[in-house]
Amino acid sequence: LLLQMWIKGVNEAGKMALQAWEKETGIKLVQINGQRHYGAPPPGWVGGPPPARAEVYIAKLPQDVYEDILIPLFGSVGRLYEFRLMMTFSGFNRGFAYARYASLEEAQRAISTLHRFQLRPGCGIVVCWSIQKRRLVVSGLPASVSQLELQARLQSVTEGICSVTLHASPFQGQAKLAVLKYRSHRAAALAKKALMEGNLRLMEAGLKVNWLEPQLKKKLQLCEEEPLSSWVQEDESLAEPRPVALPLSLQNVLECLNMVCWKHHLRKPLFVIKCVEVNTDGWEKFWYQVEIPGYHVPISGFTWVPPDRQGQSKQERAKAVAALHILRVLGKSLHSQLPAFHKVLRSL
């Protein structure tokens, strides 16, 4: 009760000013898991969301400043699609926020105009490009944890997860760690908060959740042990068009894939191929998902297909890439049981 009374009395003038501004402008702010949101989309927005890269990070905010000051300020240099202010349980802000603009140009204008802006005398704020971190690392997992158990728990307590990879920990003997990839920085941040609050419930006291840092990422890549399994396969480098290095023959790849599946009592793979984007140069981006009856999870990814490839349709080219991807995934778990596998794969 004393804590509630203390919280109620914190920064009353600032809270009253914020409420008056909301009433005057008709703006609605929504607080979810320690983040207070405006927009996404804002009133009157037409069309789809702007690119995630059009977001700026704002730091060194006075903790008693709210959206009634910040949104008009950051909206003065460009059209805001979204504004997120990080909040404490007591009602102060946590000193940082994110503003996403309608375009990269407007985000750049916000940085050049408002970086080091004196919000108050002696209180210059930081405005820079937001780093879209999307990967978390969960360490301290027991050696007995299984991939399927971890996936099921994560699906039940977080949203927007793209992939889960389980590794032997390079630091903690028999313990394991997991690298989690989310579809956006926001989804990853919300997942981090949920997991830090103990929602994973894997019966371990020493569980830690952090952002995946470059040093650990490199260390994991150098480990001799391959990841135990992968839930969803993606290639971030395909954000921009590039051709696949190998000259793929759809017939040869499919024959090899069907042979591998038959040898291991798996049924014929089922492909779903869909074009999701076409750029101005005629490149087409395809999404694919492949289900193999008898294999525990579907496997999906993206690939860019160049224009005017003679002798093979773009749909066939995308299917060949998907089939080769499936071969590589299966090869990690099946190569010791199928010596001929790598010889066939090298011939493609």
| Tens-digit pLDDT profile for residues 45-54 | 998 999 888 9
Mean pLDDT of 193-212: 72
Place of tokens 């087409």: 284
The answer as to CATH 3.40.50.150 being correct for domain 22-129 is: no
**Distance from C-alpha of 101 to C-alpha of 83, rounded to nearest angstrom:** 9
The pLDDT value given to residue 206: 64
Give the single-character DSSP code of 130. Answer: P
Helix, strand and coil in the chain, % to nearest 5: 35, 25, 40
Question: Can you read off the two tokens belonging to residue 240?
Answer: 């921009």
Distance of CA 193 to the CA centre of its chain: 15
| Candidate from 103-112, 116-125, 193-202, 332-341 with smallest mean pLDDT | 332-341
What's the whole-model pTM score?
0.50
Show me where the domains of the chain are located: 22-129, 135-213, 250-346
CB 17 within 8 A of CB 68: yes
The tens digit of pLDDT for each residue in 218-262 reads: 777 655 333 333 334 344 444 444 444 444 456 777 777 888 888
Q: How many CB atoms lie within 10 A of CB 153?
A: 16
Considering the segment(s) 250-346 as one domain, its CATH architecture is 2-Layer Sandwich (3.30)
The alpha carbon dihedral of 215, 218, 222, 225 has a sign of positive
| Candidate from 194-198, 245-249, 307-311 with smallest mean pLDDT | 245-249
**Distance from C-alpha of 5 to C-alpha of 22, rounded to nearest angstrom:** 24
Non-local (6+) Cβ contacts of 243 within 8 A are 304, 306
Considering the segment(s) 135-213 as one domain, its CATH architecture is 2-Layer Sandwich (3.30)
Question: Can you read off the two tokens belonging to residue 134?
Answer: 């999307």
Mean pLDDT of 293-319: 75
Reported confidence tier of residue 300, pLDDT bands at 50, 70, 90? confident
Whether residue 205 is predicted with pLDDT greater than 90 in this model: the reply is no
Torsion of CA 315, 318, 323, 325, to 10 degrees: -170
Reported confidence tier of residue 114, pLDDT bands at 50, 70, 90? very high
- Do domains 22-129 and 250-346 share one topology? The answer is no
Q: How many CB atoms lie within 10 A of CB 29?
A: 17
